[in-house]
Amino acid sequence: LFLQDFDGDELVVLMKQLLMIESEWVPPYETNASMYIRPTLMGTEPTLGVQPSNEAMLFVVMGPTGPYFQNGGQLKPVSLMANPEYVRAWPGGSGDRKLGSNYAPTLMAQKEAAKLGHQQVLWLYGSDHQLTEVGTMNIFMLSKRLDGGLELATPPLSNGLILPGITRQSLIELARTWKDIDVVERVI
């Protein structure tokens, strides 16, 4: 994006301080709500044009939010619309980056899904309809193999379709500590 770099470790320290200062806003665990935290870096050069910005602002948006899906906080299946007419990301694009420009084009498909009674969009890619993500989330598939073992699969980051992140990485690392589950990153 040609924006100035910053020290990510220092940003984490500052976000922890912000959470401590604003701790009364952190929802209690029992509410199934969470604290939304979004670091944002944007160009602020006071010019109009398509060119790299020589100035940027780094800030953090934070606030409490309710449960992502309104189902009373209970674990319930999420209804998905899978329509190959809509594509969220493609090789060589920016779908593997956390950019606001990656979300606006998904709104029409999300509206269509809601109109059909679904909660989210299952994003597909290619003629073989590869599963990529669900809404704005990574997808994991738990399946039982013919030999009786369990496999937890998630699409690989290698083709530029999948948004990497700490939640995805944490789930992979945690699941790899469990016995009897093979964790794989592969095309689904």
What is the structure's pLDDT at 75?
64
Mean pLDDT of 10-16: 96
Which residue blocks in 22-176 are alpha helix, DSSP H? 107-115, 166-175
Q: Which two tokens stand for residue 33?
A: 């709500």
Give the contacts of 187 (CB within 8 A, at least 6 positions apart): 130, 155, 156
Give the model confidence (pLDDT) of 57-88 as tens digits.
999 999 999 876 565 556 678 899 999 999 99
Of 75, 69, 6, nearest to 42 by C-alpha is 6
Q: What proportion of the chain, given as a percentage, has pLDDT over 70? A: 96
What is the chain's length?
Answer: 188
SS3 (DSSP) at 45: coil
Torsion, CA 115, CA 66, CA 161, CA 169, rounded to 10: -150
Give the model confidence (pLDDT) of 90-128 as tens digits.
999 998 988 888 888 899 999 999 999 999 999 999 999
Quick one: which H or E segment has residue 38? Answer: strand 34-43
Integer Cα distance of 78 and 171 in angstroms = 19
pTM score: 0.78
CB 137 within 8 A of CB 80: no
Using DSSP bridges, classify how beta strands 181-185 and 150-154 pair: parallel, antiparallel or unpaired: parallel
